[in-house]
A and B are shown apart, each in its own frame.
Chain A
Amino acid sequence: MHWRTVNPESLCWAQWDDANTLFHGETGETHLLGELPAAVVQLLSGAARSEASLCAELAALCETANDGPWRQRIAALLSQLETLELIEPLPADTP
């Protein structure tokens, strides 16, 4: 499955020492995001990615193994970010 950020042009970021604050103009909501979820949204704002590709990129970024538990963690995170309407899956027939 491929994922993308919902309307990345409407995102406003504030980066702090310990976390990130994100305003999403699409929903009018403000979110407090840790480093990992912020990295997901930022990567998907640049370009849509497959879940497998995202897991590999994030594992490299975090210097951790791209193993089963990691992929499960990222899958759970994607689900949470989708619930917040920050990201969305691309339609299945998208090339």
Chain B
Amino acid sequence: MTRPGQRPRGAAFGRGHLLRYLNGPFSIQLSTPLADVARLVTWSYGAAMDDSSTDDSPAHFNVTLRHRSLPRRLLAPQVMFQAEDSRPLAPFPRDHAFALLEWGVNWCIATRAHQYLMLHAGAVERDGRALILPAMPGSGKSTLTAALIARGWRLLSDEFGLLDHQSGRLHPLPRAIPLKNRSIDVIRRFWPDADIGPVFTRTRKGDVAHLRPPAASLIRQAEPADPAWILFPQYVSGSPVQIGRQPQSQVFTRLSQNAFNYNLLGAVGFRSLSALVRDCPCWSIRYGDLDAVIAAIGRLTGTDGS
């Protein structure tokens, strides 16, 4: 097992690092002079490092993370994210470099991977069947996704549900899960063995720490799953588990409004989403306790062995 401080894999170039790794169906090539970022990438995605590619084989996303100008570095050090020739995100403080990289790669995927309908959702798998957890404000989607993988579900994704237009299957995209604020300690208590990286304090989304994707999820990241259930979670402090069936028309509307690229895809996106909603039973679930909600999900999906 690699640790956050371990020496990065990949080639050194000049005074920097060149790393190639796989994220689900995408290959990412990162060049950066920042050794701490290279170490965290290796720690997060070590099991998915793409050692087989040659220097001139194209990656899906060529990204760069580097310092801003020298005067700026002396004043208040910042880092820039660059994808090919574009700089889509504002600079971040130097200390938040890895968080910027993760959000930058998310931007690359969200703006380019239109061969999929990209649901904004967590997704986990058991026995080849996928549970989709659409992200709504305050849903606690990342926390619940992390808790489910702690209890044996395979991580497909925390952010993107990649739905294949042709097959209707969900493709994994097991990226580091950005736990935010109270969720960091919630998951530390719930899953003492969780691999959680350094806490980046006071980012634009508050305090953020990344949960390392399990090696088993990275090793199986080319293995899609069949969508089987859709669950809209809502965390409410102190709430008992309350489950309600969701009408398909409402589910379609909520998912279409929440997907990254539904409007862009036109009829293709409509057909993909219609098939998904038609084939998957859908519930909303309100909860205030992770153990209780996971037990309820087990019963609901018939994955609890009962």
Contact = CB atoms under 8 A, between A and B. Distances in A.
Contacts, number: 42
A12 B262 CA distance: 14
Interface stretch (A15-23, A49-57, A87-95): A15-23
A30 interface: yes
Contacts of A18: 247-249
Contact of A16 (B252, B263, B266): B252
A20 B267 CA distance: 15
The listed residue with most A CB atoms (<10 A of its CB), out of B247, B262, B266, B270, is B270
Contact of B252 (A17, A21, A25): A21
A69 interface: no
Contact of A14 (B247, B252, B262, B263): B252
Nearest to A11: B267
B253 interface: yes
Contact of B253 (A12, A23, A25, A32): A32
A46 interface: no
A10 B267 CA distance: 9
Contacts of A16: 247-249, 252, 277
Interface in A1-52: 10, 12, 14, 16-21, 23, 25, 28, 30, 32
A8 to B, nearest CB: 14
Contacts of B249: 16-21, 32
